[in-house]
Amino acid sequence: MRMYDLIEKKKLGEELSTEEIYHIINGYTNGEIPDYQISALLMAIYFKGMNVRERYDLTMAMRDSGDILDLSSIDGVKIDKHSTGGVGDKVTLVLGPIIASIGVPVAKMSGRGLGHTGGTIDKLEAFPGFNASLSEEDFISQVNDIKIAVTGQSKNLAPADKKLYALRDVTATVDEISLITGSIMSKKLAAGTDAIVLDVTVGDGAFMKNKESALELAQSMVDIGKRADKKIAAVLTNMDEPLGFAIGNDLEVIEAINALNGNGPDDLMEVVYELGSQMIVFSGIETDKSKARKLMENAVASGKAFEKFCQFIERQGGDVAFARDINKFKPANYVIPVEAKEDGYIHAMKAEAFGLASMSLGGGRETFDDVIDMSVGIVLAKKVGDYIKKGEAICYVHANDKAKAEHAIEMINKATVISADKCDHMKLIIDIVE
């Protein structure tokens, strides 16, 4: 099989066979096929796409390039949740403990933040001592014991994706549905759960900027999950404005703790309850989504969900005193209000720019080697649809460096649109693909 012929074939829009796709993925993973030929193929895929069968083979070949977790020794239906990324997205921190407290096993591999989006593992490391790299054995026994474990992605999980993603990143081929499907689903399938609930974000701060492309991606991932015999659903959620009020690591952890204690922002809780009720239905604990939602609400109201969170943090070595007393988190040196320049309704708080502003304060990474400042970020005082008076705070910038704060404030002002016309609050749940 010559790589040249396979590139030519895809360039002409022809279908690649299962054998050819495995040849490409295996050859690239073990270094036999060079970057320049894969780059050409990626661009051909970008323009000609892949059909569902090719996407499935691509996903499976990438999954098979490394370890596949065997979670069969965990009792019950194991469920994973994945978000395609957003700003202020602390859903896993709230959702995981709630459904674990109801008895749904949560065996979750999470990532670190990059660019304008944050990562769950970074946020969990806000608890001093938290261990985010569990061995497979400890991961499994923890889920059996307390129903929840969250660990960083093991090094040999879908290694083909690591190489391909890095290449896509520098060849302008990230935003192609078949390639995104292969990338996300190969990792989800290698993680070994029985069911997957996907949070496909849509809007300014998301990969998918409009509903049509998000729906196409959601359908593509659901198709592949079903072919692989997984229970799978995707929920399209709005990411035009940040989720909740807090952006930044410690600030988001504090918001998540408040949410678990019954004081969560409406939009955050809407996403948590929608994804969670789907997960509970997949688990078989409840068949009706509205009853599943009631179970979740009760778990929060009774304090059961928060106690599960504390148990989980403690089990992974984190200092749970921080969860029980949020005043233990060291605040940033400066908390500066960003004031509205006019009266009116807020029409936009562009999520990507808010995420980048938080990153510029030191709260995020440009490259994987950057060190994060946990205390900085932004706390919104208003959401899209709210009325604001001139001089009132749009949000508060939490900074450790005044020059960085000035720069972030400038970015926030550019990203906020205020107008006299009335404007509705944003609809959070855009669509569901089951």
Active-site residue list: 82, 161, 168, 183, 187
Applying CB under 6 A, the residues found at the interface with ligand URA are 84, 165, 174, 180, 183-184, 207
Termini Cα distance of the chain:
39
Q: Minimum CB separation from ligand URA for residue 232, in Å?
A: 16
Strand pairing report for 429-433 and 231-238? antiparallel
By beta-carbon proximity to ligand URA, the closer residue of 114 and 340 is 114
By beta-carbon proximity to ligand URA, the closer residue of 64 and 176 is 176
**What distance in Å separates the CA atoms of residue 112 and residue 114, rounded to the nearest whole number?**
7
E strand map for 279-406: 334-339, 344-349, 377-380, 387-388, 393-399
Q: Which one, of 267, 329, 280, 376, lies nearest residue 127 by Cα?
A: 329
Half-sphere exposure of 376 (CA within 13 A, CB side): 24
- DSSP letter for each residue of 121-153: HHHHTTSTT------HHHHHHHHHHHSEEEEEP
The answer to whether the beta carbons of residues 351 and 239 sit under 8 Å apart is yes
Q: Minimum CB separation from ligand URA for residue 196, in Å?
A: 13
By beta-carbon proximity to ligand URA, the closer residue of 77 and 174 is 174
Stretch (H or E) spanning 417: strand 416-419
Residue number with the smallest Cβ distance to ligand URA: 183
Q: 275 vs 25, 197, 235, 245, 403, CA distance in Å?
A: 33, 7, 7, 19, 40
Amino acid at 195: A
Residue 412 burial by Cβ neighbours in a 10 Å radius (0-12, 13-18, 19+): buried
By beta-carbon proximity to ligand URA, the closer residue of 180 and 340 is 180
Q: Minimum CB separation from ligand URA for residue 183, in Å?
A: 3
By beta-carbon proximity to ligand URA, the closer residue of 84 and 416 is 84
By beta-carbon proximity to ligand URA, the closer residue of 224 and 412 is 224
What is the CA angle 417-83-430, rounded to 5?
A: 55
Q: Minimum CB separation from ligand URA for residue 16, in Å?
A: 19
